[in-house]
Amino acid sequence: MALPIKYNVRNVFVRWRSTVATILGVALVVGVYVLMQAMAAGIEKSSANTGSPDNLLVVRRGSTAESSSIISRDQVSTLRYSPEIARNAAGEPLLSADVLVLLNQPRRDGAGEANVLLRGISPAGREMRAQVQLVEGRWFDRGKREVVVSRRLAARFAGFEIQGEFRSGPATFRVVGHVDAGQSAFDSEIWMDADEARALFDREQYSSLLVRPVDVNAATNLIRRLESDKRLQLIARVESAYYAEQTGTATPIKWLGNFLAVAMSIGAVFAAMNTMYAAVGARTREIGTLRVLGFRRRTVVLSFLIEGALLAALGGALGCGLSLFMNGYAVGTLNFATFSETVFQFRITPALMLKGMVFSVAVGVLGTLLPAIRASRLPVISALKAV
């Protein structure tokens, strides 16, 4: 014979003080877990949302990222007029030789400094990255030390407003435009002319090449040709696939989130145990009465487990609900591939909330198991005599 669920629901509301304490404890644990995982999901979304499947990104063989790649001007010249590369309306090859430079800049709120990524692009680079749209001001002119800055990055660093100026080494740069990159990795970059960047920062080589093949067959042929050409020492990847793999920044955050979740869940389990042990002590006569009425030990255990899972589920729902206020909130963190500031948004998905709910119920069941077993083993006569 099973106990009705309304018995457990009634106990939750009758003992409201311990109920509130348990719910708040579980909500805190679940809220932290969901937010840490939402940070990692936001970074992964930013990387996966970057680039076009129509472009190929060419880097030096053996490099793990654009920032560690070196491509000489001779290599650029060799590839520029390859038959696999498409031309624009003016007949120029759709190829952008990019330069990546790290700049250390002060934050707008005065809380220290951070590295930001400056990307020098060739004239065709803007045409090949259609997801980056000018939203304020104008595009930079070559040779005038002008830059355009991501609108999200401009909100975080001093001097990045329109007509604002910032220094790096001996050079002073003027911001002439703000861009929106559609929540992609380009939202964390400053753009200027590539050859001007090479001259100002004394760079002999480029960092990467962005090319647009004529068609799919041309892309396949170019990839194979670069792989087989031992002189060039270059490799090509589909741009969108390359950025989708650059999610190393999300991995430490996931580990940290899981570590914090485990550490806090241990505390939550003990808190749940303490609450349920107190409940067992306060309900000794009630438990004895249930046993006299014919309810078996496993029924009593199941009843307490249901009660603990119910409390934890309420806490999990509260934690998930509170975390939703951070959904879409833009923050920045360190990109471990480029060691620069990466701007991203918290991304709380239904799947992530479901994981939070499952996690909370697991905490509730584990925290209730031992008190439930103790309750089921209480001697019936002693329980009935308890005051």
Is 316 a residue whose pLDDT tops 70? yes
- Do 167 and 103 have their domain in common? yes
**261-296 tens-digit pLDDT:** 677 767 766 766 676 666 666 666 666 666 666 667
Indicate if the pLDDT at residue 97 is higher than 90: yes
Residue 146 pLDDT class (50, 70, 90 cuts): very high
H helices of the chain, in order, are 5-14, 16-48, 73-80, 123-128, 151-154, 194-200, 216-228, 239-245, 250-282, 284-292, 297-323, 350-376, 380-385
Query: What is the CB-side half-sphere exposure of residue 53 using CA atoms within 13 A?
Result: 2
Considering 171, 198, 232, which residue would you say is the last residue of a domain? 232
Give residue for tokens 């799947």. Answer: 351
pTM over 0.75: no
Is the pLDDT at 110 greater than 50? The verdict is yes
Full 3-state SS string of 112-164: CEEEEEEEEECHHHHHHCCCCEEEEECCCCCCCCEEEEEHHHHCCECCCCCCC
- Mean pLDDT of the 197-218 span: 92
**Region 333-355 average pLDDT:** 74
156 is written with which tokens?
């975080």
Contact yes or no for 22/11 (Cβ under 8 A): no
Contact 185, 47 (CB under 8 A): yes
pLDDT for residue 387 = 47
How far is it, in rounded angstroms, from Cα 237 to Cα 142?
Answer: 29
d(CA 104, CA 267): 41
Same domain, 117 and 66: yes
Could you say which DSSP state residue 289 is in? H
Neighbours of 135 (CB within 10 A): 12
113 plus 165 within the same structural domain:
yes
Average pLDDT over residues 85-89: 90
CA separation for the pair 74, 256 (Å, rounded): 44
Residues 86 and 213: beta-carbon distance below 8 Å: yes
Backbone angles phi, psi at 179, to 5 degrees: -120, 160
| CA separation, residue 376 to residues 277, 345, 349 (Å) | 12, 48, 40
Q: Which of 51-55, 118-122, 133-137 has the lowest mean pLDDT?
A: 51-55
In a domain, 98, yes or no: yes
Range from 90-104, 167-181, 260-274 carrying the lowest mean pLDDT: 260-274
Q: Which stretch of 176-180, 253-257, 336-340 has the lowest confidence by average pLDDT?
A: 336-340
Give CA separation, 48 vs 172, 185, 369, 387, in Å.
33, 9, 42, 63
pLDDT at residue 2 is higher than 80: no
Minimum mean pLDDT among 256-270, 295-309, 319-333, 337-351: which range? 256-270
- Confidence check: pLDDT of 83 > 60: yes
Residue at a domain's end among 232, 259, 289:
232
Does residue 27 register a pLDDT over 80? Answer: yes
Residue 338: the pLDDT is 59
Inter-CA distances, 362 with 219, 258, 356, Å:
49, 15, 10
What number of residues does the chain have? 387
Both 76 and 144 in one domain: the answer is: yes
Domain count of the fold of the chain: 2
Q: Do 168 and 267 belong to one domain?
A: no
376 vs 111: which has the higher pLDDT: 111
Task: Verify that 79 and 38 share a domain, yes or no.
Answer: no
Question: Is the pLDDT at 137 greater than 90, yes or no?
Answer: yes
Q: In this structure, are 94 and 211 located in the same domain?
A: yes
Whether 116 shows a pLDDT value over 50: the answer reads: yes
Three-state DSSP state, 170: coil
Q: What is the pLDDT of residue 45?
A: 73
User: Do 110 and 117 meet the contact criterion of CB atoms below 8 Å apart?
Assistant: no
Residue range 208-215: average pLDDT? 93
240 domain-assigned: no
Mean pLDDT of 331-360: 76
Q: Does 187 share its domain with 140?
A: yes
Residues 257 and 355 in one domain: yes
β-partners of residue 150 are 179
**Which position has the higher pLDDT, 264 or 356?**
356
- Say whether pLDDT at 111 is over 50: yes
In this structure, of 2-16, 58-72, 227-241, the range with the lowest mean pLDDT score is 2-16
Q: Which domain holds residue 17?
A: 5-48+248-385
Instruction: Report the distance separating Cα 342 and Cα 188, nearest Å.
Output: 5
Judge if 116 and 227 occupy the same domain: yes
The backbone torsions φ and ψ at residue 172, rounded to the nearest 5 degrees and listed phi first, read -115, 130
Whole-number pLDDT of residue 195: 92
Greater model confidence, 162 or 17: 162
